Amino acid sequence: MIRHVVAWKLEATDPAEKAADAAEIARLLSGLVGVVPSIAALDVGPNMAYFEANWDVLLVADFASLADLDAYQTHPAHLEVVPQVKARVAQRASVDIEL
């Protein structure tokens, strides 16, 4: 099992705009469940505490294998969402671990 973890710092500084962008990113990525067959599990949402120090949005997704993660990364539905996420993001950090 591969766990794919991505954290984003959003471009927006206004709290209302930041909340709206975080909600839209969560909506877009959650919408991939059931569309991208290689997703075993996916959770995504906005940071809920320590706003000054923490990153703004986190995705945790599980895949049965590295090949399944690769299939997710290159799936047309994921590729359609990527530019919409990038448009709201200032920084991205990602780690993939084996469970």
Q: What is the pLDDT of residues 75-92, one digit of tens each?
A: 999 999 999 999 999 999
Domains of the chain: residue spans and CATH = 2-98 (3.30.70.100)
pLDDT of residue 13: 92
pLDDT digits (tens, 9 = 90+) for 20-33: 999 999 999 999 99
Paired residues of 92 in beta bridges = 8
Angle 46-75-60 from CA coordinates, rounded to 5°: 30
How far apart (Å, rounded) are the C-alpha atoms in residues 19 and 96? 26
Give the confidence band of 55 by pLDDT, cuts at 50, 70, 90. Answer: very high
Q: Percent of the chain beyond pLDDT 90?
A: 98
Q: Percent of the chain beyond pLDDT 70?
A: 100
Asked whether the beta carbons of 63 and 4 are under 8 A apart, the reply is: yes
